[in-house]
Structure 1
Amino acid sequence: MKRHSTLNLSWGVVFSLGIWSLWLCWNGVTFKDERPNRNVREENISKATKFAYVGVNGKTNQSQQRICVCWSKPLLNWCKVNSDGSALGNLGRVGGGGLIRNDKGEWIRGYVRAIGCTMSMAAELWALRDGIRLCIA
């Protein structure tokens, strides 16, 4: 298994988080008129380091914080795909799914998949991939 040379991080972790960061950046630029982050490499290495640390050492000592999550409608005549992956343990059975809703919040299409045994990040990426493919189809 290849590893990032200076931090001894798995390239699989660095690559997966890199793809996810690029996806978030692209969405921010495309849909929210945000400026692209110029420190993508450093941000990705930081996220990969934190991910690897939590995976090896369990929970961090950070205080818990409640975050309210709600769905927001897409623009008029647009649809939105929401995806999620889930894992039974970090390197356990995983699955993913999601749905597409229109600008009125009405269900258009949905999907679900059993992925197998892998890490939770892979479940998220598979669910995202399946959602994108469903949008294209």
Structure 2
Amino acid sequence: MELWAIWLIVAGVLLIAEMLTLTFYLLWIGIGAAVAAVIALVVPDSLIWQVLAGCLVVVVLTLYTKPITRRFRTSGEYKDAVDDLVGKTGFVLEAIVPGKPGIVKVGNETWSAHAEQQLSDGDKVIVTARGSAHLLVQKAEGDD
């Protein structure tokens, strides 16, 4: 298989993964891989130039877009949909032990969750905070 095709496949996989995570980091690496594919088409026998061009694009995109994305997120207008989960109630699907995550269902979604207390299957919980990939929950009042 041609090296440019491999670069293009890597770029495609990274762009699809980016659509699932929405972090922008995989997007920049995917664009770098696409640039490496173009370099592989132009200069097919130079792996070093392909890697250097791809890496340069990733570094430049990361350096120049970091302040923009930070400003966008701290402007107050940006609100992640996951932030809306804080304060909502749900129930435990898989027991939670302090230091070991479990699974909770909040609305129609299931989430990995941590708690400072032990929670059993079926316990009603309230979301107190969110992490990037998990929720922090506590037992809901009046649920014994």
Q: Which has the larger radius of gyration?
A: 2
TM-score category by the smaller chain? Answer: under 0.3
Which structure would you say has the larger RCO, counting Cα contacts within 8 Å and 6 or more residues apart? 1
TM-score by length of 1: 0.27
More helix by share: 2
